Amino acid sequence: MTDPIAPRTALRIQRARLIDGTGAAPVDDAVVTIDAQGTITYAGPAATAPPAAGERVLDADDRTVLPGFFDCHVHLAYAHGAAPGRRAELDPVLVTLDTVTRLRRTLDAGITTARDLGGLSAGFRTAVETGRVVGPRLHTAVRIISHTGGHADVRLPDGTDLSAGMSEIADDTAAARLAVRRVLRDGADLVKVCATGGMGSPYDDPDDEGLLEEEIRAVVDEARRHGGKQVAAHAQGNAGILNALRGGVTSIEHGYGLDERALDLAAERGVFVVPTLSTVYAGINKDTMPDYHYQKKTRWSGVTKENIARAIEYGARIALGTDAAVGPHGVNLMELSYLVDLGMDPMAAIVAGTRTAAELLGVADRLGTLTAGRTADLILCDGDPLRDIGVLGDPANIVCVVQDGVVRKDLLPTATEGRL
Ligand SMILES: [Zn+2]
C-alpha cells in the first residue's frame, strides 16, 4: 500500500503489554519492531529484543498492543439503520463520501481489515489498496445473490428496485452460476448468498429457506472455478443453515438458528460462524425500524442468544463480525463484549477478532497475529481488555492504529514519542 500522506518508517513499540492474537498468555514489558517495509521483525519480551536502531519509537507506557482487528461482516456503503428503501434515495456522490467517512471511523475503531458482505463496490478496495482513501483493508462481496422475493430482492410493489445495486437475482442453478460470474466480473473478492430470509426484508422470515441446497452448491462450485473464492451465506433459520452447510459454504453469517446438528456439520466441514451479535444487542430500535423488522428482531433475540451461547460452548469456529449498518458503524469491537456476555472467554473473543478472522479471510499467513514475518497491523489500547473486554469497544481507548507499518491513528501523548 502506498500512501503519500503517511510515509512508512521503521517502528519500535516499547513498554507494551503484548497480546499477540494466538491466544497465548500476555507478555508484559514487550517490544514490537517493524521494518521500513511494514513487516514485523520482532514481537516478544524486551529482554530478548534486538537493540534499537534509530527507529521511530512509540512508547506504549504499559498499554496493550494487539493485532489489528477484523470485522468479517460489514456494509460500509450503508448508513446505520437506513432501511433498504432509503438507500436508493441518496445521490451516489453523497453515498461515496459518506462511505469514505465510515471507512475512516471503522479503522479508528481498531479494524484494520474488513469484509463487506453487500453493497460496497470493488473500487473502494482498490482505493484503500492504492492509498486514495484511508480505511480498513477490504474484501468485498459487491452484491448479494438472492432468489426472486428473497432477502436481498428489495422492491416496491410497482417493481422499482430499491436494493441500490445490492442484489443479484438467481432462481435456478444456471442463474446461480451466472450470478457468481457477474459479481466476480465486477471485482468481488468473495461471494455472498442468501440461504434464508431475514429480518430487514418485509415479506420473508428468518425461517424461510433462500437458495436451494443445489443452487448453493452451484454457487460454491462456480466460485471454486474462479481461484477458489469463498462463499459467505446469510443463514438465520435452521433449515437454511443446513442447506448452506451441505452446499459447501465457507461461513455461516448470523447463524441464529444453529442447533447441535448444524454445529456438528459445521465442525466436520471446518465452516466458520460469524454471529453478528451487534444486530441483537445494538441493532434493535423501535423508533427507527419498520414495525415488521422490530417484531422479527425481538422475537429472535432470545433464540439467538441461546443458540450462539451454545455455539460458543461447543467450540465452533467463531470469527468476529458485526453487520455494521444494521448496527452502528465505528464501534465494531463492542461485538467482543457481546461474545463475552454469551460465555466466551475474553482471550478467545480477541482470537475470534484476529487469528480466526484472518483464517476465515484466507490471510492468516500475513495477518491476524503479532509474530515476526507478519504484516504490521496493530493497535494500542488503554485499559486491560482481559479484565474488561469493553475497553476495546470504545474507540477513544484505541490510542494508536498501525496498518501495514503506517501509523494511521496516534493519540499517544507526544512526550512519550521519540527516537532512540
Ligand atoms: Zn449483513
Ligand 1 centroid to Cα of residue 323, in Å, is: 5
Ligand 1 centroid to Cα of residue 192, in Å, is: 10
- Indicate whether 342 belongs to any domain: yes
Residue 72 has pLDDT above 60, yes or no: yes
Q: How far is CA 338 from CA 117, 139, 142, 303, in A?
A: 21, 24, 28, 15
Ligand 1 centroid to Cα of residue 240, in Å, is: 16
Ligand 1 centroid to Cα of residue 118, in Å, is: 7
pLDDT of res. 319: 98
Percent share of the chain, pLDDT over 70: 95
Q: Domain containing 181 — which CATH number?
A: 3.20.20.140
Q: Domain containing 378 — which CATH number?
A: 2.30.40.10
CA angle 153, 154, 155 (to 5 degrees): 115
Residue 368 has pLDDT above 50, yes or no: yes
pLDDT of res. 120: 96
Ligand 1 centroid to Cα of residue 31, in Å, is: 38
CA torsion 76→79→82→85, rounded to 10°?
A: -60
- Range of 223's domain? 69-360
Residues 195 and 98 in one domain: yes
* Sole residue written with cell 520482532: 42
Q: How many helices (H) and strands (E) does the chain have?
A: 12, 19
Poorest-pLDDT segment among 113-117, 206-210, 339-343:
206-210
Q: Per-residue confidence at 88, pLDDT binned at 50, 70, 90?
A: low
Ligand 1 centroid to Cα of residue 109, in Å, is: 19
Residues 58 and 181 in one domain: no
Ligand 1 centroid to Cα of residue 175, in Å, is: 22
- Indicate whether 4 belongs to any domain: no
Number of neighbouring beta carbons within 10 Å of residue 246 = 14
Mean pLDDT, range 384-390, rounded to an integer: 97
- Indicate whether 170 belongs to any domain: yes
Helix axes 92-108, 122-129, angle to 10 degrees: 50
pLDDT of res. 86: 66
Ligand 1 centroid to Cα of residue 418, in Å, is: 43
Residue type, 60: A
Mean pLDDT, range 94-103, rounded to an integer: 95
Ligand 1 centroid to Cα of residue 128, in Å, is: 21
pLDDT of res. 92: 87
Ligand 1 centroid to Cα of residue 415, in Å, is: 42
With 0-12 CB in 10 A as exposed, 13-18 as middle and 19+ as buried, what is 314? middle
Poorest-pLDDT segment among 2-16, 294-308, 332-346, 365-379:
2-16
Residue 34 has pLDDT above 70, yes or no: yes
State residue 37 phi and psi, 5-degree precision: -95, 0
- Indicate whether 335 belongs to any domain: yes
End-of-domain residue from the set 318, 340, 360: 360
Task: Write out the H or E segment, with its range, that includes residue 285.
Answer: none
Grid coordinates belonging to 381: 489500547
Ligand 1 centroid to Cα of residue 191, in Å, is: 13
Residues 139 and 273 in one domain: yes
Ligand 1 centroid to Cα of residue 40, in Å, is: 33
Residues 80 and 215 in one domain: yes
Ligand 1 centroid to Cα of residue 327, in Å, is: 10
- Indicate whether 260 belongs to any domain: yes
Residues 236 and 295 in one domain: yes
More confident residue, 80 or 322: 322
- DSSP readout, 330-366? S-TTHHHHHHHHTT--HHHHHHHHTHHHHHHTT-TTT
Residue type, 241: I
Residues 167 and 249 in one domain: yes
pLDDT of res. 1: 41
End-of-domain residue from the set 360, 395, 410: 360
Q: Per-residue confidence at 267, pLDDT binned at 50, 70, 90?
A: very high
CA angle 311, 312, 314 (to 5 degrees): 60
Q: Indicate the number of domains in the chain.
A: 2
Write down the H helix ranges in 234-290: 238-247, 260-269, 278-281
Number of neighbouring beta carbons within 10 Å of residue 226 = 13
Ligand 1 centroid to Cα of residue 152, in Å, is: 10
End-of-domain residue from the set 360, 377, 398: 360
Residue 417 has pLDDT above 70, yes or no: no
* Sole residue written with cell 457468481: 180
Q: How far apart are CA 357 and CA 348, in angstroms?
A: 12
Residues 139 and 103 in one domain: yes
pLDDT of res. 4: 47
Residue 269 has pLDDT above 90, yes or no: yes
Percent share of the chain, pLDDT over 90: 80
- Indicate whether 2 belongs to any domain: no
Ligand 1 centroid to Cα of residue 380, in Å, is: 28
Mean pLDDT, range 250-279, rounded to an integer: 97
Q: Per-residue confidence at 87, pLDDT binned at 50, 70, 90?
A: low
- Indicate whether 1 belongs to any domain: no
- Indicate whether 76 belongs to any domain: yes
Ligand 1 centroid to Cα of residue 198, in Å, is: 10
Ligand 1 centroid to Cα of residue 73, in Å, is: 6
Residues 144 and 248 in one domain: yes
Residues 23 and 96 in one domain: no
Q: Per-residue confidence at 285, pLDDT binned at 50, 70, 90?
A: confident
Ligand 1 centroid to Cα of residue 167, in Å, is: 12
Task: Write out the H or E segment, with its range, that includes residue 166.
Answer: none
Ligand 1 centroid to Cα of residue 408, in Å, is: 27
Ligand 1 centroid to Cα of residue 75, in Å, is: 6
Q: Phi-psi category of 83—alpha, beta or left, where left has phi over 0 and alpha has psi -120 to 50?
A: beta
Ligand 1 centroid to Cα of residue 391, in Å, is: 25
Ligand 1 centroid to Cα of residue 74, in Å, is: 6
Ligand 1 centroid to Cα of residue 72, in Å, is: 10
CA angle 132, 182, 270 (to 5 degrees): 85
Residues 204 and 335 in one domain: yes
pLDDT of res. 420: 47
End-to-end alpha-carbon separation of the chain, Å? 27
Residues 210 and 259 in one domain: yes
pLDDT of res. 2: 42
Mean pLDDT, range 339-346, rounded to an integer: 98
pLDDT of res. 287: 81
Residues 306 and 380 in one domain: no
Poorest-pLDDT segment among 89-98, 122-131, 401-410:
89-98
Q: How far is CA 133 from CA 102, 138, 143, 405, in A?
A: 11, 12, 22, 16
Mean pLDDT, the chain, integer = 93
Ligand 1 centroid to Cα of residue 20, in Å, is: 29
